[in-house]
Amino acid sequence: MTWREGLPRPRGRLLFDEPLAPLTWLRAGGRAEVLFLPADEDDLAGMLAALPVEVPVTVLGVGSNLIVRDGGVDGLVVRLGGRAFGEIEVEPEVSRVVAGAAVLDAALARAAAAAGVGGLEFYAGIPGTVGGALTMNAGCYGGETGDWLVVAWGVDRAGQRRVFTLADFAYGYRHSQVSPDILWTGAVFQGRPGKQLDIEASMAAITRRRETTQPIREKTGGSTFKNPPGHSAWRLVDEAGWRGKAWGGAMFSPLHANFLINTGQATAADLEDLGEAVRADVQSKFGVTLEWEIKRIGRRQ
């Protein structure tokens, strides 16, 4: 009997050999050996506890900052969604927000604004989920997750519920010290008192800036590379001559040189190979190493 045949029957959904490209913003890549959509945290914990230790586990959020390689992803791929992981509770009297890991960052910002909770408006400019924001200290326009996080919780690979305070993360630039094996399920953010109209005006300004400077209506993965110390990734890509230059079905956007886009029928290999070609060229020309901000998972064909 294979590990797939021995899986327990969850209350959520188990899908075998499921295409993952439709679940990513770049719309490219292979299949999940098994895709698991848990009903709630207990369902998730039970599956992880029963899963053989040698089976890899991969978390898939909203797929906004991700390349799924064409050979697919071995093991169990977990995608959180639905009511159990998508609820937001605002406590305006203390300017706090409790959010599930599947909550969209922009939805978190809107809920906080509606309750007069400020500080979280930068999330209006991040195309991801709370779970992803926790993992990578997501931020933009002067704000980062680590500026506002109080506590977060999730389930580890053994199916045990774990709780982490802000200090446990030891956040750096797009980096956390917490084990990547934690599957986040929720978090608490401490905002500050504000006026709804002022907060919404700030969010509208962020949205306008995104619309005029980023290819948000393209098949894109967001920022491709982290900004190296003392440099802007987009400027290095641009000065190396890669803005708008096609590579198979992939390209770095003519609008923003740090945004990798699928121009139509790009494979995951097109996207990743273009990124690696740009990294090598920037290293050769400027002596600067670009690090991927987009996460890449799975096997190459």
How would you class 172 by CB atoms within 10 Å of its CB: exposed for 0-12, middle for 13-18, buried for 19 or more?
A: exposed
CA nearest to 225, candidates 181, 289, 152, 147: 289
Euclidean distance between CA atoms 32 and 110, whole angstroms: 33
Query: HEC states along 285-300?
Result: HHCCCCCECCEEECCC
CA distances (Å), 200 to each of 61, 118, 130, 208, 233, in order? 26, 9, 20, 12, 29
Q: Active-site residues: which are they?
A: 174, 223, 293
Position 231, amino acid = H
Which tokens in the block code for residue 2? 């294979």
Torsion sign over Cα 216, 217, 222, 228: negative
Position 203, amino acid = M
CA distances (Å), 127 to each of 104, 124, 154, 276, in order? 7, 8, 21, 23
